[in-house]
Amino acid sequence: MAKPEKVTAVAEIADKFRTSSATVVTEYSGLSVAQLTTLRRALGSGTTYRVAKNTLVKRAAEDAGVEGLEALFVGPTAIAFVEGEPVDAAKALRDFAKDNKGLVIKGGYMDGRSLTVEEVAQIADLDSREVLLAKLAGAMKGKLTQAAGLFNAPASQVARLAAALQEKKAAQAPAPADDAAAES
């Protein structure tokens, strides 16, 4: 018979798996409580970092329909449940792991499939959503300016052509003073 605390913990973890946009499975051996607190702060409010027993996490993952992570639930396990942008959480975990050798990224889960350590690192190397949107806006603005120049080009060419024709006519027409001198 399962204890009510364990049933509740499995239900909470399964709910986190269902509602998260991504999860990153880590090993945290050798980290102090202060270091874990620092990590939680670095992850921000959009990410929940939870230490859990492997058997409970396996059951919760199974309940949530998450497959492919069973091999990662060995040793001291903690999971980062990301509710926002996975890029920011992956960067925070990667940077923290560089400074603290006790944190080891084992893998993750996103978009219905498991992720390898390399794929989590690739996500961490991406620009954040805001940076990508800013780059897109800049590229679009440049293309719009280029298009405006193309649309204005025929009108400005016609104006230059008309000015050149007017100058040519003025140069070909005899001056009125020359006509008076020729009649006398």
What share of the chain has pLDDT > 70, as a percent?
Answer: 93
Q: What is the pLDDT of residue 178?
A: 53
Report phi then psi at 14, rounded to 5.
-60, -40
- Asked if 42 and 117 sit in the same domain, the reply is yes
pTM above 0.75, yes or no: no
Do 149 and 59 fall into the same domain? no
Average pLDDT, the chain: 84
Q: Are residues 87 and 156 in the same domain?
A: no
Q: Are residues 76 and 149 located together in one domain of the fold?
A: no
Does residue 181 carry a pLDDT above 70? no
Give me the residue label for tokens 């993952």.
61
Q: What is the CATH number of the domain that holds 40?
A: 3.30.70.1730
Q: Is 128 helix (H, G, I), strand (E, B) or coil?
A: coil
Are 91 and 158 part of one and the same domain? no
Please give the distance of CA 106 from its chain centroid, rounded to a whole number. Answer: 21
pLDDT band at 1 (very low <50, low <70, confident <90, very high): very low
**139: containing domain:** 132-183
pLDDT > 90 in the chain, percent: 25
| Helix residue ranges per DSSP H, the chain | 4-19, 33-43, 54-64, 86-99, 117-125, 129-172, 176-183
Q: How many domains is the chain partitioned into structurally?
A: 2
For 58-107, write each residue's pLDDT tens digit.
Answer: 999 988 888 888 888 888 899 999 998 888 889 999 999 998 888 999 99
Do 61 and 102 lie in one domain? The reply is yes
Eight-state DSSP code of residue 175: P
Is a pLDDT exceeding 70 seen at residue 175? no
